[in-house]
Amino acid sequence: MPDPSNRTAVRVSCDTVASACAERVPRPSETDPLSRGMPAAFAETVRRSAPGPVADLGCGPGHVTARLADPGLSASGVDLPAGMVELARRAHPDPRFVQGSMTALGVGDGVLGGILARCSTHHTPPAELPLLFAEFRRTLAPGGHLLWGCRMGDEHRRPTRAYGHPVSCAWHPLPVERVAELLERAGLRVVARLVQESDEQSPRPSACPLARKD
């Protein structure tokens, strides 16, 4: 079962930094071509393979959610901190944004054509990821796709400040091979992955596996 204390720490910490985070998170048009190309490829894949609603989990200020809705997808955003959800609603009035947990999405079995979870699971302890990925599989339609993405690593971190504010939630970066293994065990077959190495702007490598529910 998810640790309630960890969820509370994540919610409170993310609410604390919500405004500062929203100001610093770049819009898709401001990112590098590969970073903005993966959500675009994901959106086209969903339209072709399993047309249906798309959930952007850990949506933050909602910039990517709004971009997913541009090609005609029915996209909605979900995030745990109420403050972040309110900022997303103000910035993007058209998509639907709701406060909620990734472990209990509140939709029926096989409803979603796609799930986007980029930079949204790194606060989840690795032992809880199987539960999280099982919920993703439950809610995806047959042929639906998950695009996961995060910084990679293999060390537990507990920063005390972020965006100039005190925080108390841990970070759990994982190697992409471990994430792919957990996705496969959950019944989500990895069909592609993009790995971006570290550079001057990003000191940690990142990965975006694309997985399909067969």
- Give the pLDDT score at 3: 67
pTM comes to 0.91
Pairing of strands 112-118, 54-57: parallel
Q: Count the neighbouring beta carbons within 10 Å of the beta carbon of residue 44.
A: 12
- Give the pLDDT score at 143: 96
One digit per residue, the tens of pLDDT, for the chain of length 214 reads 566 777 788 888 888 888 888 888 888 888 888 888 899 999 999 999 888 899 999 999 999 999 998 767 899 999 999 999 999 999 999 899 999 999 999 999 999 999 999 989 988 999 999 999 999 999 999 999 999 998 888 877 887 888 788 888 888 889 999 999 999 999 999 999 999 887 766 677 899 999 999 9
Domain assignments of the chain as residue spans, ordered by start: 4-212
Nearest CA to 153 among 190, 178, 120?
178
Helix (H) or strand (E) holding 179: helix 176-185
Q: Count the neighbouring beta carbons within 10 Å of the beta carbon of residue 52.
A: 18
Q: Count the neighbouring beta carbons within 10 Å of the beta carbon of residue 67.
A: 21
Classify residue 36 as exposed, middle or buried by CB count within 10 Å of its CB (0-12, 13-18, 19+): middle
CA 5 to chain CA mean position, Å: 21
Place of tokens 């639907």: 96
- Give the pLDDT score at 2: 62
Residue type, 128: E
Q: Are 193 and 210 in contact (CB under 8 A)?
A: yes
CATH number of 4-212: 3.40.50.150
Q: Are 73 and 50 in contact (CB under 8 A)?
A: no
**Own/partner pairs for 64-69, CB < 8 Å, 24+ apart?**
64/28, 64/39, 64/116, 64/118, 65/92, 65/95, 65/97, 66/91, 66/92, 66/94, 66/95, 67/28, 67/39, 67/40, 68/39, 68/43, 68/95, 68/116, 69/94, 69/95
- Give the pLDDT score at 202: 67
HEC assignment per residue over 2-56: CCHHHHHHHHHHHHHCHHHHHHHCCCHHHCCHHHHHHHHHHHHHHHHHCCCCEEE
